[in-house]
Amino acid sequence: MSIISDSLKRIKPSPTIAVTQKARELRSAGKDVIGLGAGEPDFDTPNNIKNAAIRAIKKGDTKYTAVDGTPALKKAVIGKFRRENKLNYSADQITVGTGGKQVLYNTFMATLNKGDEVIIPAPFWVSYPDMVLLAGGRPKIVKCTEKEGFKLTAKKLKKAISKRTKWVILNSPSNPTGAGYTKKEIQSLAKVLIRNKKIYILSDDIYEHVRYDNFNFFTIAQISKLKDRTITMNGVSKSYAMTGWRIGYAAGPKDIIKAIGKIQSQSTSNPSSISQAAAVEALNGKQSFIKKRSNAFKKRRDFVVKSLNSIKGISCLKPNGAFYVFPSCKGLLNKKTKLKTDTDFVKKLLEKENVAVVQGSAFGLDGYFRISYATSMNSLEKAMNRIKSFCESLE
């Protein structure tokens, strides 16, 4: 009899983390590997935020805090939602976790019963289905095609809803595609959800500030009558280059927020006191650098999209935000190339050209691969040349 639990057997390790780890191992072995798998800004955390953490250390703010966030950080989160999203919350409607991932995990653990369904548009962030499975729920994957901009439509949402549907996940701008939902598209989805009063919405807004071409960001609680049925999750990792600080937060109905806190009290307890102090400064401090960094990401996006679309057999949509592209490699999957799947493609690319990307099937849509361009232009230029060389060698 295995000591490993049945629930753990239902899930798999994160494919994106696996690719990043593989790239590290190859570098350690002396390989000149370019890793385009990690969703992590290459910028440093701004100095004002780091200094706030240093002040907290010197002040002695190194003890336990309230399980679901300090009063100061909750106040900063409330201010952020009011200022940027025109949403008003009280402190008992706010939770802070050890990264946005924990907030999502806690939400599912606190609300899902066996057999409850969660509608997940694909392509999706790799952890959504596994978190649902761990909580005893059933992921209901809805494939969203390239023709649809990789976005869920009201028609597909309506068709996917069943008596067991408990949650719908919306992620905009999206990981892995960078696709952002317009105000009209969100309102179209909201009309379907308003009629289904037992369904809750989990809005993953972690890439809210990483957007381009004057794309206007809206979150569903802001522009619908669904605020009382929505958990709006965000964090400091992407916008403020604070991935290692591990601070995520969410706002939503009091009963769910309280249940999330109960789960957290029996797992990690409070997030790092120092990271929370830094997050207060991130949310309350100067914000001008965010636009400058988004402009830098835009230049990288434009270069990568143009480069990929110049390669025979590859095609790539230009995303609205985040720092990913999701190009198709379907034109290279045939008998001539001897590549049958996107997994074959990414394995051979790593083997032949030392470029690490993630297969689209890991995100729920076959025939694609994800590139993170959250790295230097120098690395991106080398990577694009290598990808082109690899694809040309298949002809």
How far apart, in whole angstroms, are the C-alpha atoms of residue 57 and residue 276? 12
CA atoms within 13 A on the CB side of 332: 26
Q: What is the pLDDT along the chain (395 residues), one digit of tens a residue?
A: 788 888 888 887 777 777 778 778 888 888 899 999 888 999 999 999 999 999 999 999 999 999 999 999 999 999 999 999 999 999 999 999 999 999 999 999 999 999 999 999 999 999 999 999 999 999 999 999 999 999 999 999 999 999 999 999 999 999 999 999 999 999 999 999 999 999 999 999 999 999 999 999 999 999 999 999 999 999 999 999 999 999 999 999 999 999 999 999 999 999 999 999 999 999 999 999 999 999 999 999 999 999 999 999 999 999 999 999 999 999 999 999 999 999 999 999 998 999 999 999 999 999 999 999 999 999 999 999 999 999 999 97
pLDDT, position 352: 93
How far apart, in whole angstroms, are the C-alpha atoms of residue 32 and residue 246? 29
Determine if residue 69 is left, alpha or beta; phi over 0 gives left, psi from -120 to 50 gives alpha, anything else beta: left
pLDDT, position 296: 97
pLDDT, position 21: 80
The model carries a pTM of 0.96
Q: How far is CA 296 from the centre of its chain?
A: 20
Task: Decide: residue 76, CB within 10 A, 0-12 exposed, 13-18 middle, 19+ buried.
Answer: buried
Q: Hey, what domains does the chain have and what are their CATH numbers?
A: 6-44+289-393 (3.90.1150.10), 63-284 (3.40.640.10)
pLDDT, position 7: 83
pLDDT, position 151: 98
How far apart, in whole angstroms, are the C-alpha atoms of residue 56 and residue 385? 46
Alpha helices (H) along the chain: 6-9, 15-28, 47-59, 71-85, 100-111, 127-134, 154-160, 183-195, 254-265, 273-284, 288-309, 342-353, 377-393
